[in-house]
A = this chain, B = another copy of it.
Amino acid sequence: MSGGPFRFEVAATDGAARRGRLHTTHGTVDTPAFMPVGTAATVKAMTPDAVRETGAQIVLGNTYHLMLRPGAERIERLGGLHRFMNWAGPILTDSGGFQVMSLTDLRKLDEDGVTFRSHVDGSYHRLTPERSVEIQRCLDADITMAFDECTRFPCTEEEAASSMRLSMRWAARCREAFVERPGYGLFGIVQGSVFPDLRRESAEALIAIGFDGYAVGGLAVGEGQEAMFSTLDATVPALPDDRPRYLMGVGKPSDIVGSVLRGIDMFDCVLPTRSGRTGQAWTWGGPVNLRNARHADDPRPLDPECRCPACRDFSRAYLHHLTRAGEILGVMLLTWHNLTFYQDLMRSLRKAITDGTVHNLAAALAEREAKGDIEPL
């Protein structure tokens, strides 16, 4: 552990896109960064060594899942989440808000917080801004996220305003509850659905409270890429230049590229890991469905440009076989590949920003994805 201050520096810009470095207690993160999701203290089907080999520098943990099983205080007694899951690098934890809000029929919201029933055993639990921050401290998260209400989509402007303003009051309580420690940071979350004025109001409210980073929440909930990008266009300019910007729960490669062009620094998404469990691979030639029969006799690697074990050691025919047979090794290899692809994508974006060529890269990626030059045989 470095023990230095929590610090973000912008090393290069290319238009609105930024190449930066985020310094935390458990290490440095090069941005734009993609954070693999480790919901239940594991990036599904990956050892932490393998996660590191993909190039990931930071992972995400879920407060909701971990508070229910194995329990935040248990993880604290066992030395914190890093030690529990054997991940030495930085960890960002979400606040539990997003998961709790999605338990539509199992939760009750009031000004103070939310009461909900566990999906594991039906037991009752309560989350407030203070408790969410406390849990994230038990987990020893390098980055704590403010507890917010993730506004449902679609909603009226009035509903979005009311929900956002509740989240802003909660954000102030999170700031109050957060115990400052060197190298640890607290991020606020901009809400306001797809309404530009509300997004700006939310950003201003958070800046007035003061956070170590600013997340954009409430997107990737069904609004579509165009609405997501236009919301970013309205939101990002309202955020301070000297703090990291994190777009929560995003996304497909083209979502990430477009958001980097708009000044986003950090991402997380279950897509690469979840796709790996359903036979779907993300490659430099576009998405590939390994369940498709045309791969059955194909001796070529999944992606000739990829350095991961799935592409280095095996054929498409073998990956197809594993996927069809429901073998765990198929899940392991495709998850490994997808996370490697995502990290290589981020590395390419970082390099292009430094080189001042990020718009060229974005155009080339869009063209390749449309052309699908690996598919079909």
Cross-chain contact A328 with B325 (CB below 8 angstroms): no
Q: A328–B84 Cα gap in the complex (Å)?
A: 16
Cross-chain contact A325 with B74 (CB below 8 angstroms): no
Cross-chain contact B317 with A74 (CB below 8 angstroms): yes
Please tell me if A117 contacts chain B, counting CB pairs below 8 Å. Answer: no
Partner of A297, one of B46, B69, B77: B77
Q: How many copies are assembled?
A: 2
What residues of B have a CB within 8 angstroms of the CB of A317 in the complex? 70, 74, 78, 84
Please tell me if A243 contacts chain B, counting CB pairs below 8 Å. Answer: no
Please tell me if A313 contacts chain B, counting CB pairs below 8 Å. Answer: yes
Partner of A328, one of B321, B331, B333: B331
What residues of B have a CB within 8 angstroms of the CB of A314 in the complex? 86
Q: A65–B123 Cα gap in the complex (Å)?
A: 44
Kindly specify which of A36-44, A209-217, A221-229, A282-290 makes contact with the partner chain. Answer: A36-44
Please tell me if A48 contacts chain B, counting CB pairs below 8 Å. Answer: yes
Contact mask for chain A residues 44-59; partner B; CB cutoff 8 A; 1 contact, 0 none? 1111110000000000
Cross-chain contact B78 with A329 (CB below 8 angstroms): no
Please tell me if A98 contacts chain B, counting CB pairs below 8 Å. Answer: no
Given contact pairs A79-B299, A313-B86, A318-B84, A42 touches B329 in the complex (Cβ within 8 A):
yes
Provide a sorted-by-A list of 18 A–B residue pairs whose CB atoms are within 8 angstroms: A40-B322, A40-B325, A41-B318, A41-B322, A42-B322, A44-B327, A44-B328, A44-B329, A45-B332, A47-B313, A47-B329, A69-B325, A70-B317, A77-B297, A78-B297, A78-B318, A86-B318, A328-B332
Cross-chain contact B70 with A296 (CB below 8 angstroms): yes
Q: A318–B85 Cα gap in the complex (Å)?
A: 7
Partner of A324, one of B69, B324, B331: B69
Contact mask for chain A residues 155-197; partner B; CB cutoff 8 A; 1 contact, 0 none? 0000000000000000000000000000000000000000000
Please tell me if A237 contacts chain B, counting CB pairs below 8 Å. Answer: no
Cross-chain contact A69 with B332 (CB below 8 angstroms): no
Given contact pairs A77-B297, A297-B77, A332-B332, A327 touches B86 in the complex (Cβ within 8 A):
no
Q: A78–B299 Cα gap in the complex (Å)?
A: 6
Looking at the assembled complex, report how far the CB atom of A31 sits from the nearest CB atom of chain B, in whole angstroms. 27
- The residue on B at minimum CB distance from A43 is B329
Contact mask for chain A residues 291-329; partner B; CB cutoff 8 A; 1 contact, 0 none? 000001101000000000100011101101110110111
List 12 additional contacts besides A46-B329, A70-B317, A86-B314; criterion CB under 8 Å: A41-B321, A42-B327, A42-B329, A47-B309, A47-B333, A49-B309, A69-B321, A74-B296, A77-B297, A78-B297, A78-B318, A84-B318
Given contact pairs A297-B74, A313-B86, A328 touches B329 in the complex (Cβ within 8 A):
no
What residues of B have a CB within 8 angstroms of the CB of A41 in the complex? 318, 321-322
Partner of A315, one of B48, B84, B327: B84
- The residue on B at minimum CB distance from A327 is B42
- The residue on B at minimum CB distance from A322 is B42
Partner of A45, one of B78, B320, B328: B328
Q: A40–B41 Cα gap in the complex (Å)?
A: 30
Q: A262–B45 Cα gap in the complex (Å)?
A: 41
